Amino acid sequence: MLRPPGQRLEDEQVQGPLEELDRVLDEIEDLLQTHPKVAAVAVIGLPDRDRGERVCAVVETPAGQEPLTFAEMQQFCRDHQLMTQKIPEQLEVVEVLPRNATFKILKHELVKQLKDTEVSQ
């Protein structure tokens, strides 16, 4: 295999599966962001004692809207042809997502807050 000058073999192998996971989570976030009951969303992986990890969507509800339900989220994902295995297994609705000074959602804070929660439906 040919590599650009200065690039080590280890550099090529480090990010493969993580980059794919990031693309999947971004795809789910992009879709859920279009739902009218979602003001902002973060999709994270949470520890799961049976499967190792589960996908959790954490959403802010727009002012004046009813919160998104788990069933509505599942149906919305199906209606937009999201593969079944990509549909989040957990939904958490929060008043405000944690953000830094530049308004970026702090997913690591969500993982810390929610890592011990059970699957809610």
Question: Averaged over 32-36, what is the pLDDT?
Answer: 97
The model's confidence at residue 16, banded by pLDDT at 50, 70 and 90, is low
What is the per-residue pLDDT for 10? 44
What is the per-residue pLDDT for 28? 96
**Pairing verdict, β 40-48 and 52-60:** antiparallel
* Those residues with Cβ within 8 angstroms of residue 32's Cβ, 6 or more apart along the chain or in another chain: 38, 41, 43, 57, 59, 73, 76, 77
Task: Please report which residue ranges of 44-106 form alpha helices under DSSP H.
Answer: 70-79
pTM score, whole prediction: 0.80
What is the per-residue pLDDT for 22? 81
pLDDT digit string, tens, across residues 81-116? 999 999 999 999 999 999 999 999 999 999 999 988
What is the per-residue pLDDT for 23? 87
What's the CATH number for 13-114?
A: 3.30.300.30
pLDDT digit string, tens, across residues 63-85? 999 999 999 999 999 999 999 99
